[in-house]
Amino acid sequence: MNNRDKITWQPNYSVGHPILDEQHKQLLRLCNRAIDCMNREAPEDIAMFHLILNDLANYTETHFKTEEEILARCNYPLIENHKSEHLAYQVRLTDFLLEATLGKIDKAALTHYLAEWWRDHILCSDKQYVQTIKH
């Protein structure tokens, strides 16, 4: 991947909730920071990539908690499916972190996974709750 693979926030990405939209924008910024590090191999860039993974893991935990609380308050009928997707993401990101700790940073696999996550979860699964959180 390279800089042309970076994702720019678009208005149609909005789920209509200011807190969730801002958190999604922050997740997008973190994903783009990972893409920035893709082709760099200097020791400081590898260290930066590892920090980005940590930031991503920490921030997604915060975001998932916030999103799940909002969905629970709105009685979102698909909340358990949504929680399962969140858990699967956290498990996979933990795998990437473990691999990075062991010196096996697969930047291409990570950025591919992040792009798929953005497309499949944020732009599809999250869009399913838009009408529920508006009421």
Cα gap 53→133, rounded to integer Å? 30
pLDDT tens-digit map of 43-92: 787 788 888 888 999 999 999 999 999 999 999 999 999 999 999 999 99
Cα gap 130→21, rounded to integer Å? 11
Q: Which amino acid type is present at position 44? A: E
What the block records as the tokens of 119 is 């497309």
Cα gap 134→59, rounded to integer Å? 24
CATH architecture, range 18-134? Up-down Bundle (1.20)
Over 70: is that where the pLDDT of 1 sits? no
Query: Using an 8 Å Cβ cutoff, are 133 and 97 in contact?
Result: no
Q: What is the pLDDT of residue 23?
A: 96
